[in-house]
Structures are given as structure tokens and as C-alpha cells.
């Protein structure tokens, strides 16, 4: 059984504060045995994590991942080790990821307040899963709405911390009935997942934002 945080940003993202090494140490400390580094529009963080864990022989599975900026919002992609261009529609992006053998999940669908619902309908038929718990959310209602819609469209749910610093790792957990990357991808698609988490404390979110501002 994998205890995974499927949404983590490293310093390969322009807004991520911590190194791969620090994030993996945090994940292990928090009892996770699986993590996906999902930097904005680059798989480089994931590739570094895979290499690092292999070199050090650490007891944690890395699912390669990336969070792609589409014209309809953010799309999480798992199981791909090459970049997909940002800026396409979510539908086009999801198709491109699938061609590479990856699995997709719509990230925090209702964060795009005004256009959220419209965007959601445009791609719900092509994505494999929906992020129904995002620990960064200030408004729990967005997660509730994502959960309701995922259920209505029979889409499996996943959770992620959307951590941009090591202290936020592990706030969103997906328990996956799997033991390696390919069985994890299969289980995400089949909904053999269980989602749990708690929201990142507001004090920690503020600290992270201040730190980001300080670093420019
Ligand atoms: Zn996002
Ligand atoms: Zn994110």
C-alpha cells in the first residue's frame, strides 16, 4: 500500500522553496512511502528525485510527475518523464500526456473561481482523475465541489498537499493500492485510492508566501 503525496513543488518550480533532498527527507519523516514531485511545466524535479532516491537507496517510491499549465487551468500528469508544452487546452494536454503513457488528474478544479465550472466541463471526459482534496485551499467548499463532480462523472479522486515548502509535505494524502509506479498509475485510473488530508495551517501558508516574496 502506498501512502503518497501526489502534489509537491520543489525549487525547480519558480515558486517552490525547497530542494528535492529536503522534500524527500520531509516525506520520509512524515511516514510517506511515495511522493510525486509535480513542478510547474517541468519534469526535471521528478527526474532529480528518482536519481537521488536510487543513489541513496531510500525507502520511498517516486512517481514521475508534473503540473502543466493549460489554457483551462492546471493539469497534473503522472508517469511521464518528458515535458509537455504548456498553453494548450486541457483536453489537448491530457491527450498528449496519454500518448506518452501518462495518467492525468485535474488539479484544484474550482480554484478558477469564475470560470471554474466552464473549464471543468471542457475536459472532464478526457482526464483520468480529479484532485478532490488540495491542502492549500483556503476555501474547503472548492474541495467539496470537486468531490461531488468527480463522483457524478465517475472519476477517481486523488489528494495532494500542493506543498511549496518542505513543512507542507504530507497534508494531502492519497493511499494507493499499489507497490510500484506502473501499478500506482493503474490504481489511480481505476480509483483504487483513498483520499485523506487536512488543510495546511494558515500560519504556515503565510510564512511560505512571505519567504517566497523575500526570495523574489
Ligand atoms: Zn496548481
Ligand atoms: Zn501545484
Ligand 1 center from residue 183 Cα (angstroms) = 25
Q: Cα(80)–Cα(90) distance, rounded to whole angstroms?
A: 16
How much is the pLDDT for 46? 98
Ligand 1 center from residue 75 Cα (angstroms) = 8
Query: How is residue 172 annotated by DSSP?
Result: E
Ligand 2 center from residue 9 Cα (angstroms) = 6
Q: Cα(215)–Cα(113) distance, rounded to whole angstroms?
A: 28
2-215 has which fold?
TIM Barrel (3.20.20)
Ligand 1 center from residue 109 Cα (angstroms) = 9
How much is the pLDDT for 136? 81
* Helix 90-99 / helix 116-123 crossing angle, nearest 10 deg: 40
The count of other CB atoms within 10 Å of the CB of residue 54 is: 10
DSSP string of 18-63, one letter each residue: S-HHHHHHHHHHTT-SEEEE--BT-SHHHHHHHHHHHHHT-S-EEP
Question: Over its length of 216 residues, how does the chain's per-residue pLDDT go in tens digits?
Answer: 999 999 999 999 999 999 999 999 999 999 999 999 999 999 999 999 999 999 999 999 999 999 999 998 899 999 999 999 999 999 999 999 999 999 999 998 877 554 555 667 788 899 999 999 999 866 667 888 888 888 999 999 999 999 999 999 999 999 999 999 999 999 999 999 999 888 888 788 788 888 878 877
Q: Cα(5)–Cα(164) distance, rounded to whole angstroms?
A: 12
Ligand 2 center from residue 39 Cα (angstroms) = 7
Point out which residues pair with 172 in neighbouring strands: 197
Amino acid at each position: 500500500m502506498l501512502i503518497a503525496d501526489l502534489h509537491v513543488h520543489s525549487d525547480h518550480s519558480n515558486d517552490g522553496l525547497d530542494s528535492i533532498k529536503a522534500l524527500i527527507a520531509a516525506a520520509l519523516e512524515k511516514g510517506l512511502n511515495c511522493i510525486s514531485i509535480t513542478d510547474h511545466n517541468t519534469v526535471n524535479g521528478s527526474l532529480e528525485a528518482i536519481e537521488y532516491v536510487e543513489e541513496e537507496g531510500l525507502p520511498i517510491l517516486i512517481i514521475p510527475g508534473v503540473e502543466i499549465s493549460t489554457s483551462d487551468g492546471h493539469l497534473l500528469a503522472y508517469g511521464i518523464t518528458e515535458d509537455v508544452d504548456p498553453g494548450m487546452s486541457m483536453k489537448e494536454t491530457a491527450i498528449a500526456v496519454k500518448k506518452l503513457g501518462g495518467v492525468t488528474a485535474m488539479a484544484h478544479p474550482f480554484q478558477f473561481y469564475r470560470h471554474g465550472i466552464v473549464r471543468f466541463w471542457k475536459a472532464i471526459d478526457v482526464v483520468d482523475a480529479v484532485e478532490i482534496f488540495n491542502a492549500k485551499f483556503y476555501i474547503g467548499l472548492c474541495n467539496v465541489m470537486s468531490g461531488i463532480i468527480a463522483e457524478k462523472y465517475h472519476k477517481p479522486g486523488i489528494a495532494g498537499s500542493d506543498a511549496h515548502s518542505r513543512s507542507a509535505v504530507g497534508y494531502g494524502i492519497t493511499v494507493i493500492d499499489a507497490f510500484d509506479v506502473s501499478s500506482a498509475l493503474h490504481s489511480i485510473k481505476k480509483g483504487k485510492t483513498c483520499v485523506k488530508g487536512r488543510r495546511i495551517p494558515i500560519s504556515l501558508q503565510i510564512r511560505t508566501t512571505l519567504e517566497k516574496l523575500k526570495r523574489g
